[in-house]
Structure 1
Amino acid sequence: MFRLLHGSLLAGVLLMNCPVLAAKTTVEQLQNGLNHPWAVAFLPGNQGMLIAERSGQLRHWQNGTLSEPLAGVPEVWAERQGGLLDIALSPDFVQNRHVYLSYTEADSSGRAGAVVGYGTLNQEKSRLTDFKVILRQEPKLSSGANLGSRLLFDEKGYLYISFGDNFQAATAQQLNALTGKIIRLNADGSVPKDNPFVNQQGARGEIWTYGMRNPQGLALNPWTHEIWESEHGPRGGDEVNIPRKGKNYGWPLATWGVDYSGEKVPGSKGGTVPGTEQPVFYWKVSPAISGMAFYNSQRFPQWKDSLFIGSLKEKNLIHLTVNGDRIVEKERLLGDRGERIRDVRTGPDGYLYVLTDESDGKLLKVGLEK
């Protein structure tokens, strides 16, 4: 069933009396036995993929073979939503073989925060060497909730990092903290000179946008070349945003969700608040959205102009169609499997690759019947 952005005008007409023969979804299980897999990254030249398990293992998978955990991966703090969270390859991976990781660490008080760094993958794909930390989320405030954290390089080689609010909502509005923010760095970890708050006293120059709650996905829109973000609301109010330079995305001042108690979110002034940006799409009832991927392959023309987002609570893959900055929800896939979906990526072969967030986590290859 189609579903429109709340408050928007009808963008088109659905001809209910004209049956559409939808192609059947195909699912191939490529791997099981993964320990809460959180992220996947494709290596160039048909060299397989890297898979991150939240518990701290980074593995190589190719042609049905799963490696032992790679050596040289930093020790992670793996509690609740903390652990090894995301992987991104350097835009110059073929030359430098740099693999970027986002993970969590805790301080002596037991409070945790996200960390980003990179190491060099050896030719045998068995270890990372010379791992270097380039950013630590500060202050560390989390007991294991709302950590984020995703990584994405844009077409100019800038690294975007999503950091959750660590369940300390007010800090998402504080420009001297790296909680509840989207960060933008150069690949070496330095701060781009044109970042919006570089010259603002008391603000962190790394910040690109603020007012984010718990970002779960980052993806590059292949048609507009902008970064998009998927984000957990509290109880309801999951969002898709376009994080634009220097903008405030509202949390906790503006939210379409309510507190877990069912009451108003403390500090909230409603769904629409002057000076804050509206999401391009939101769910009043939260599916607990996770990773996201645009679809821009010729393999399955029926998926043209699509966005796919995983769901944890509702345990399905949400298929949306995209027209500029507008989104329509089209269908829910994979719900019959009853598994939490943590990440989805479009593979170089035009199939979707999905990770299920379970103790017996799976790597799935999803397509359509021809």
Structure 2
Amino acid sequence: MRIAPLLSPVVALMLTSPVMAEPVPVGPPNAPDQTPAFEGQTRAPQLEGTVRLDTQTVADGLEHPWGMAFLPDGNMLVTERPGRLRLITPEGDISEPIKGLPEVDARGQGGLLDVSLGPDFDTERWVYLSYAEPRGNAENATAVARGRLNEDSTRLTDVETIFQQQPAWASTKHFGSRLVWGTNGMLWITVGERSLVEPRQLAQTLDNTIGKVVRINADGSMPDDNPFVGRDEARDDIWSLGHRNVQGAARHPQTGELWTIEHGPKGGDELNRPEPGLNYGWPVITYGEDYSGAPIGQGITQQDGMEQPVYYWDPVIAPGDMTFYTGDRFDGWQNNILIASLEPGGIVRLTLEEGRVTGEARYLEELGRVRDVDQGPDGALWVLTDKGDGALIRVVPKE
């Protein structure tokens, strides 16, 4: 067993809010006999304060929106899982679907998923999309394509596929699929383990990209410094292994490190800081239990050679995407982690100190399933609700 190291005090996130002794009241754990590997790994103290939030529905009528990206002019690109990419203005005007997208498999949890602008968008206008790619015979897998957004934002051109998860599987679940750019212009991609018992075992082997975080160059080529480059029977694009279904990821604004949040089983959602070449345990070790109430594997939570999560939730929060807040509109929230929650819904906020979680708060559960949360150019929060009649909502502190 290895416990994630603390950040050095120089780069550590500083606690900006006082805390109370009791955790957020969430009821008993699903796996009450499990114990954390270190103090504060779960049920951190509830953040003190009376922060109240105002919400404004900017656009609605979206069908299961999944990801968003802010354009330099303040407009947003928003994906809808059935396979549509739309331009939405800050005033709420919704475009017709942008043309030129690749074919997607929109069954179950699949479809068009994340969207991100390339680091050189200002000059090259590359837009990156992750999606469930149909492979025939009911099989599919996560893929990433890029295309150039034309000047009037109505079409993608020069579309090319730059990553394809291998192998494909006949499953409609656990595609992962967040896109995060490193400070060096390389792209991290999170890919799920497809949920079924057979493919989930592949999360522990290096000849595939099931249950992995991968890292590629912007054109799809392989970085020379990826951890398994040149190793026999290992894929060059793997960054870390042993993940379940990572649907949230963000780069730390001070250190540049990747942080991820993944769906665990019933009572095992995890916050991680994936380091190159390390193994994060799934499905050998995990907190929580299977949906049937049975243990996962041998029911163990620790093993030598496998990483512990920075934090876990039991009961779960069913995490969507996450972001680090860097604006000034929310006083005292700088460098806090904000997480979209599908169950019980709303937004989860975490404070950190020296790389460990020190406090937790919950907001806006009345919104229901929140798939994505991001910080806008104005410092406000923008969220997407994952519903058949989903919405883009702007969130600011109540005055």
TM-score range, shorter chain: over 0.9
Q: Is the 8 A contact 1:312 1:342 kept in 2?
A: yes
**CA 1:198/1:23 → structure 2, altered by over 3 Å: closer, same or farther?**
same
In the alignment, which residue of structure 2 is the partner of 1:249?
280
In the alignment, which residue of structure 1 is the partner of 2:244?
213
Q: Is the 8 A contact 1:35 1:55 kept in 2?
A: yes
Is 1:40 aligned to 2:68, yes or no?
Answer: yes
Amino acid in structure 1 at the alignment position of 2:132: T
Q: Is the 8 A contact 1:3 1:328 kept in 2?
A: no
Q: TM-score, normalised by structure 2?
A: 0.87
Displacement after TM superposition at 1:20 (Å): 6.0
**CA 1:204/1:15 → structure 2, altered by over 3 Å: closer, same or farther?**
closer
In the alignment, which residue of structure 2 is the partner of 1:72?
100
* Cα distance in structure 2, aligned partners of 1:15 and 1:170: 35
* Cα distance in structure 1, aligned partners of 2:238 and 2:208: 9
Q: Is the 8 A contact 1:81 1:147 kept in 2?
A: yes
* Cα distance in structure 2, aligned partners of 1:365 and 1:142: 37
Amino acid in structure 2 at the alignment position of 1:52: T
Is 1:317 aligned to 2:347, yes or no?
Answer: yes
Q: Is the 8 A contact 2:40 2:357 kept in 1?
A: no
Q: 1:55 is matched with which residue: 73, 77, 82?
A: 82
* Cα distance in structure 1, aligned partners of 2:178 and 2:346: 20
Q: Is the 8 A contact 1:30 1:64 kept in 2?
A: yes
Q: Which has the higher contact order (CA 8 A, sep 6+)?
A: 2
In the alignment, which residue of structure 1 is the partner of 2:15?
none
Displacement after TM superposition at 1:142 (Å): 4.2
**CA 1:10/1:209 → structure 2, altered by over 3 Å: closer, same or farther?**
closer
In the alignment, which residue of structure 2 is the partner of 1:264?
295
Q: Is the 8 A contact 1:224 1:324 kept in 2?
A: no
* Cα distance in structure 2, aligned partners of 1:153 and 1:80: 27
Is 1:148 aligned to 2:185, yes or no?
Answer: no
* Cα distance in structure 2, aligned partners of 1:134 and 1:331: 38
Q: Secondary structure at the match of 1:336?
A: helix
Q: Secondary structure at the match of 2:123?
A: helix
Displacement after TM superposition at 1:21 (Å): 5.0
* Cα distance in structure 2, aligned partners of 1:269 and 1:359: 36
In the alignment, which residue of structure 2 is the partner of 1:116?
144
Q: 4+ residue stretches of structure 1 with deviation over 3 A? A: 1-11
Q: 1:306 is matched with which residue: 330, 336, 344?
A: 336
In the alignment, which residue of structure 1 is the partner of 2:269?
238
Displacement after TM superposition at 1:304 (Å): 2.3
Displacement after TM superposition at 1:259 (Å): 1.3
* Cα distance in structure 1, aligned partners of 2:350 and 2:45: 18
* Cα distance in structure 2, aligned partners of 1:212 and 1:191: 21
Q: Secondary structure at the match of 2:177?
A: strand
Amino acid in structure 2 at the alignment position of 1:159: L
Is 1:287 aligned to 2:317, yes or no?
Answer: yes
Q: Secondary structure at the match of 2:224?
A: coil
Amino acid in structure 2 at the alignment position of 1:23: V
Amino acid in structure 1 at the alignment position of 2:371: R
Pick which of 133-142 and 177-186 moved more: 133-142
* Cα distance in structure 2, aligned partners of 1:254 and 1:330: 24
Q: TM-score, normalised by structure 1?
A: 0.94
**CA 1:329/1:289 → structure 2, altered by over 3 Å: closer, same or farther?**
farther
In the alignment, which residue of structure 2 is the partner of 1:180?
211
Amino acid in structure 1 at the alignment position of 2:81: R
Is 1:88 aligned to 2:116, yes or no?
Answer: yes
Displacement after TM superposition at 1:365 (Å): 0.6
Q: Is the 8 A contact 2:37 2:308 kept in 1?
A: no
Q: Is the 8 A contact 2:323 2:339 kept in 1?
A: yes
* Cα distance in structure 1, aligned partners of 2:343 and 2:330: 28
Pick which of 316-325 and 88-97 moved more: 316-325
Displacement after TM superposition at 1:108 (Å): 2.0
Q: Is the 8 A contact 2:103 2:134 kept in 1?
A: no
Deviation sequence 1:129-185 (CA, Å, 0-9, x none): 010001111101141111111111111101000000012210101100111000000
Q: Secondary structure at the match of 2:366?
A: helix
Displacement after TM superposition at 1:23 (Å): 3.0
Percent of aligned pairs with the same amino acid: 43
Displacement after TM superposition at 1:235 (Å): 1.3
Q: Is the 8 A contact 1:318 1:329 kept in 2?
A: no
Amino acid in structure 2 at the alignment position of 1:313: E
Deviation sequence 1:258-298 (CA, Å, 0-9, x none): 112111112x4511111011110101211211111111112
Amino acid in structure 2 at the alignment position of 1:164: G
* Cα distance in structure 1, aligned partners of 2:226 and 2:96: 40
Amino acid in structure 1 at the alignment position of 2:222: V
* Cα distance in structure 1, aligned partners of 2:393 and 2:119: 26
**CA 1:265/1:193 → structure 2, altered by over 3 Å: closer, same or farther?**
same
Is 1:200 aligned to 2:231, yes or no?
Answer: yes
Q: Is the 8 A contact 1:6 1:281 kept in 2?
A: no
* Cα distance in structure 2, aligned partners of 1:305 and 1:156: 21
Displacement after TM superposition at 1:299 (Å): 2.0
Q: Secondary structure at the match of 2:222?
A: coil
Paired residue total: 363
